[in-house]
């Protein structure tokens, strides 16, 4: 099964995609809010990216606090997930994204990318981390959205 992974943000949303067998995660795109006239067009661009990738399921990074509690950002991701589910007839899952941006930054630094180049793909790498963590989980441990 081919999955799309999403690291949703109000300004930028990083996206990743798996291989058709659902084993490996790869960077896909960064959708920037500033490139669209409003939030509706921004979400439409995310939907179109998922469709163009041929995804059969979507994994949303869920920003939980270190103790597992939810924040305002967590509620925003849950709301966006519901809006995406209304536009896509696909199964959705949540994956805890605690510290994925920090780990993604380290990945990019270790890869030798210059600082300004890292910023351009940071959200995609965070989405790769979210999706890779999901793909490593046993199916029965996956949390449906």
Residue range 25-47, pLDDT digits in tens: 999 999 999 999 999 999 999 99
CB crowding 108-124: b at 16 or more within 10 Å, else e: beeeebeeeebeebbbb
Residue-averaged pLDDT of the chain: 87
Please state the rounded mean pLDDT for residues 53-77.
89
CB 99, CB 107: distance < 8 Å? no
| Domain residue extents for the chain | 3-144
pTM summary value: 0.85
DSSP string, 35-62: GSSSHHHHHHHHHHHHHHHT-SEEEEEE
Q: Please, what CATH class does the domain formed by 3-144 belong to?
A: alpha beta
Cα gap 127→14, rounded to integer Å: 6
In this model, does residue 75 exceed pLDDT 90?
yes
């Amino acid at each position: 099964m081919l999955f799309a992974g999403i690291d949703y943000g109000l300004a930028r949303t990083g996206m990743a995609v798996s291989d058709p067998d659902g084993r490996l995660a790869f960077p896909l795109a960064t959708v920037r809010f500033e490139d669209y006239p409003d939030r509706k067009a921004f979400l439409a661009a995310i939907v179109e990216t998922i469709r163009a990738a041929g995804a059969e399921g979507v994994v949303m990074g869920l920003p939980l606090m270190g103790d597992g509690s939810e924040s305002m950002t967590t509620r925003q991701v849950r709301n966006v997930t519901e809006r995406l589910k209304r536009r896509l007839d696909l199964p959705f899952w949540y994956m805890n994204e605690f510290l994925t941006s920090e780990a993604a930054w380290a990945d990019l630094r270790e890869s030798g990318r210059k600082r300004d180049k890292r910023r351009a793909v940071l959200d995609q790498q965070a989405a790769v981390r979210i999706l890779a963590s999901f793909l490593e989980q046993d199916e029965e441990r996956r949390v449906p959205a």
